[in-house]
Amino acid sequence: MQEALNLDATFSALADPTRRAILARLATGEATVMELARPFEMTQPAISQHLKVLEDAGLIIRRVEGTRRPRRLAKDGIEAMDQWLAMLRKALEANYDRLDDVLSAMENREKGKPQ
């Protein structure tokens, strides 16, 4: 049950373009709320709300450093890379399986032509 909730939370977290942009920014390294708020023309409380959603979904982690609370991605770069490559592989395999069908249809049409 807990897993189902987590999965739902993860997709909800990714459904928002600002939260995706925050993740993209954090992929380059950790950042504070103020640093994250700057490019979005949003207030810090609004950004904090997005960060809470991302934290609850387990996508980002908060570190305590004096008065600062820098955030970073929960997954390390290598894992994210593997995940991206796995996604690319799956998309390409689906594409080329369909291309096999397209090619065989082209061949059949060619054969059907009068000589």
Partner 1 sequence: MSKMTLQTEGDTHILVTRRFAAPPQAVYLAHTDPNLIQKWLLGPEGWTMPVCLNEAIPGGKFRYEWKNAKGEGFYVTGEYLELDPYRRIVHVERMHLPDPTPDNHVETRFDADGAGTLMIMRMTLPDAQTRAAMLATGMEHGMEASYVRLEEMI
Single out the residue of 45, 67, 100, 114 in contact with partner 1 (rule: CB under 8 A).
100
Tokens encoding 108: 């059949």
Whole-angstrom CA distances from 3 to 10, 57, 58, 60, 74 are: 10, 11, 12, 17, 17
Stretch that binds partner 1, among 4-12, 35-43, 44-52, 62-70 (CB under 8 A): 4-12
Rg of the Cα atoms in the chain: 22
User: Which residues form the interface with partner 1 (CB under 8 A)?
Assistant: 3, 6-7, 10-11, 14-15, 20-21, 23-28, 58, 73, 75, 77, 80-81, 83-96, 98-104, 106-107
